[in-house]
Amino acid sequence: MPEGMHVDYDGLIPNNVGLAQDLRVRKALETWHPGYIDWWKEMGPVGFQESLVYLRTAIGVDPTGWAVFDYVKMPEYKWGILLAPKVEGRKIPFGRHKGEPAWQEVPGEYRAMLRRLIVVQGDTEPASVEQQRHLGATAPSLYDLRNLFQVNVEEGRHLWQMVYLLQKYFGADGREEAEALLERRSGDADRPRILGAFNEATPDWLSFFMFTFFTDRDGKMQLEALAQSGFDPLSRSCRFMLTEEAHHMFVGATGVQRILQRTVSAMNEAGIEDPYDVEAVRRLGVIDLPVIQKKLNLHFSLTLDLFGNEISTNAANAFEAGLKGRYREDKLTDDHQLHNATYPVLRCVSGRIVEEQVPALSALNMRLRDDYVREVEAGVARWNQVIAKGNINFKLKLPHVAFNRAIGEFSTIHVDPDGNILDDAAWAARKSEFLPSSDDGAYIADLMKPMFERGRYAGWIAPPRVGIDNKPGDFEYVRIV
C-alpha cells in the first residue's frame, strides 16, 4: 500500500497523514477545532443545523471508493484531512528546480511565498460557505437543498486541508494564519475575505448556480495549478480536493441547465417565441433568458478578477520557484521553464485593447485564465443546446474579458460585453442592459420561495434527470427538523 492510503478514523479528525503520531500538529488542530465549529455555527448555513442531510463523506483516498452517502447532521460531519497517496520518486515538474526530488518539507527561501499561496486558496473555502449561508431558506427542492449543503460541508473540509498544511509546515506563523482564516468574513467592511469575488453577495439560487459553475471552476483551475507544485504535501492535498470539486461544478452546470429547461418549456407551452418579451415570460413565473445572460455576465467577470493581473511578477516567481504550475503541466511538452518563451496577452494600452506577446513567465495568470475560458465556453455551449432544442432564437454568450473588471488593466476602462469601449456616460446609461438591475434582482428574489415537499420542485426550475446516489425522484434528501 503506498504511503498515505491508510485513513485513521479513531481520533477526532479523520486523516491519512498520521496525526495520531504527530503530537504537535494534532494538538494544534485540536486547538483550532472548536473555533472552526463556532465559525460553522455562526457563519455556516442558517438553519438546518439539526436536520439530517443525505451527504457524501470522504472516507478514503482510493479513487474507486472514496466516499459514502448517509444522513448526517452538518455540525457532525466528518471533516478530515485527506491527501492523495504519495507518488514514490515524484520530481519537481517545472521551474528552476525542475527534476529535483519534490520537497517534503518547506524550502526556507520559499516559505513566505508558499504560505501566501496556501492562505489565499484557504481563504476562498470558508468564504463561499459564508456567501451561501442564507440560501437554504429559499431552496427550490430538497434535492437542491442537499446539493447546497454538500458543497458547503466540502468547502469547509477544504479549509481543513489548507489549515493542516499551515499548521504542519509553517510553525507559529501558520497557526496565526489558521486563526485568521476563521476571523475574516465575506463582505465585512472591517475584515473582508482576501479576494474581491468572495466578498460579493450570492443573493439567489441563480447566482448560486452561476457561482458554482464559474467561480468553483476558478477554484478548480487554481487547485490544478497547485496540484503540480513541487511542494509535495500541497500537491497531494490539492489532488484530493479536486475529486470533490467536480461535484460543485456539476451542481452549477446542471442547475443553470435545469432553469433554462424550465424557461424554455414554459415559453413553448405558452407559445412565446420572443425571448426578449421579458414581461410575458415573467408572467409565467420563470426566469427570462436575458436576465440569465446578465447573471452570466456578472459572474464571469467577477471570476476573471480572481486570476489576477495580466502581467504578474508573483505568478512568475511562483512558477520559477516550482510552487505553482500551469494547468496540466505534466501533460505539456515544452521545457517547463519558459525563460525564453512568450505568450499572447490582451492588454489595455492607452485605453485601447491590444494583443501583445509578453514573456510567458509573466503571463502565467493569463494562460491559466485562457484554459479556464475554454472550459466555460464548452459549458455554455451545452446550455445553448437546451435553448436550441426548444427552438428559441437566443444564445448565451460569454462577455469580453475586458468587461466589468475590477482587477488588472481593464479595470480602468468600460467596455460592453462585445468589447467595444464605452465612455463613463455610455456605461452608466447602458449598465443595466449588461448586468442585473435592481428590478431584475427583485423579480428573481420574488420567485425564490422554498419547496420542501419530497419530489417536488419550484416552478422556475426543472427536476434533475437522475437523483444523487441514484436515488428515486421522491427521495427525502433532507429530513428537516
Partner 1 sequence: MDAVAAPQAIDFRTEPARYKHWRIELRDNVAYLIMDVDPNGGLVPGYELKLNSYDLAVDIELHDAVQRLRFEHPEVGAVVLQSGKDNVFSAGANIRMLGQSSHGHKVNFCKFTNETRLAIEDATENSGQTYLCAVNGPAAGGGYELALTAAHIMLIDDRRSSVSLPETPLLAVLPGTGGLTRLTDKRRVRRDLADVFCTTEEGVRGKKAVAWRLVDEAIPPSAWAETVAKRAREAAARSDRPRDEKGITLTRLERREEPHQLHYRYLSVVCEPEKHRATITLRTPTEALPASLEEAVARGDRFWPLALAREFDDAILHLRFNAPELGLWVLRTEGDPAAVLAHDAFLEAHKSHWLMREIRLFLKRVLKRLDVTSRSLIALIEPGSCFAGSLAELAFAADRSVMFAGQRAGDNRSPATLTLGPANFGCYPMGNGLTRLATRFYGEPESLTRAEAAIGQALEADAASELGLVTFAFDEADWDDEIRIMLEERASFSPDALTGMEANLRFAGPETMETRIFGRLTAWQNWIFQRPNAAGAEGALGRYGSGIKPDFDYNRV
Give contact residues for partner 1 (rule: CB under 8 A). Answer: 96, 112-113, 116, 180, 183-184, 189-192, 194, 313, 315-317, 319-321, 339, 350, 359, 361-362
Q: Closest distance between partner 1 and the C-beta of residue 103, in Å?
A: 16
Q: Closest distance between partner 1 and the C-beta of residue 412, in Å?
A: 9
449 binds, among Fe ion, partner 1, none (CB under 5 to 8 A by kind): none
Q: Which residues, 6 or more positions from 466, have their beta carbon under 8 angstroms from its beta carbon?
A: none
CA distance 82 to 429: 51
Q: Closest distance between partner 1 and the C-beta of residue 462, in Å?
A: 42
Q: Pick the closer one to partner 1 by CB: 111 or 471.
A: 111
- What's CA 107's distance to the chain center, in Å? 29
Q: Closest distance between partner 1 and the C-beta of residue 112, in Å?
A: 5
Q: Pick the closer one to partner 1 by CB: 59 or 194.
A: 194
CA distance 475 to 481: 16
Q: Closest distance between partner 1 and the C-beta of residue 226, in Å?
A: 17
Q: Closest distance between partner 1 and the C-beta of residue 212, in Å?
A: 26
SS3 state at 136: helix
CA distance 292 to 200: 18
Q: Closest distance between partner 1 and the C-beta of residue 478, in Å?
A: 35
Kindly write out the interface string for residues 235-254 of this chain, putting x where it contacts Fe ion by CB under 5 A and - elsewhere: ----------x--x------
158 binds Fe ion (CB under 5 A): yes
CA distance 375 to 253: 12
Query: How far are the Cα atoms of 13, 22, 338, 346, 395 from residue 26, in angstroms, in the given order?
Result: 9, 6, 40, 47, 53
Which cell goes with 226? 497547485
216 binds, among partner 1, Fe ion, none (CB under 5 to 8 A by kind): Fe ion
Q: Pick the closer one to partner 1 by CB: 112 or 429.
A: 112
Q: Pick the closer one to partner 1 by CB: 295 or 414.
A: 414
Query: How far are the Cα atoms of 5, 125, 143, 200, 248 from residue 207, in angstroms, in the given order?
Result: 38, 17, 17, 11, 14
Q: Pick the closer one to partner 1 by CB: 136 or 325.
A: 325
Q: Pick the closer one to partner 1 by CB: 112 or 442.
A: 112
Nearest to 359 by CA among 394, 386, 319: 319
Q: Pick the closer one to partner 1 by CB: 153 or 321.
A: 321
Q: Which residues, 6 or more positions from 438, have their beta carbon under 8 angstroms from its beta carbon?
A: none
Q: Closest distance between partner 1 and the C-beta of residue 24, in Å?
A: 23
Torsion of CA 50, 45, 239, 1, to 10 degrees: -10
Per CB under 5 A, which of residues 214..233 are in contact with Fe ion? 216, 219
CA distance 164 to 168: 6
Query: How far are the Cα atoms of 139, 175, 299, 360 from residue 129, in angstroms, in the given order?
Result: 15, 22, 17, 35
- The stretch among 86-94, 140-148, 154-162, 452-460 that binds Fe ion (CB under 5 A) is 154-162
Per CB under 5 A, which of residues 120..139 are in contact with Fe ion? 125
380 binds, among partner 1, Fe ion, none (CB under 5 to 8 A by kind): none
204 binds Fe ion (CB under 5 A): no
Strands 421-422 and 352-359: unpaired
440 binds Fe ion (CB under 5 A): no
Task: For 169-228, give the DSSP string.
Answer: HSHHHHHHHHHHHHH--TT-SSS--SSGGGGS---SHHHHHHIIIIIHHHHHHHHHHHHT
Angle at which helices 289-305 and 364-389 pack, to 10 degrees? 170
Q: Closest distance between partner 1 and the C-beta of residue 36, in Å?
A: 18
Q: Pick the closer one to partner 1 by CB: 261 or 362.
A: 362
Q: What are the residues binding Fe ion (CB under 5 A)?
A: 125, 155, 158, 216, 219, 245, 248
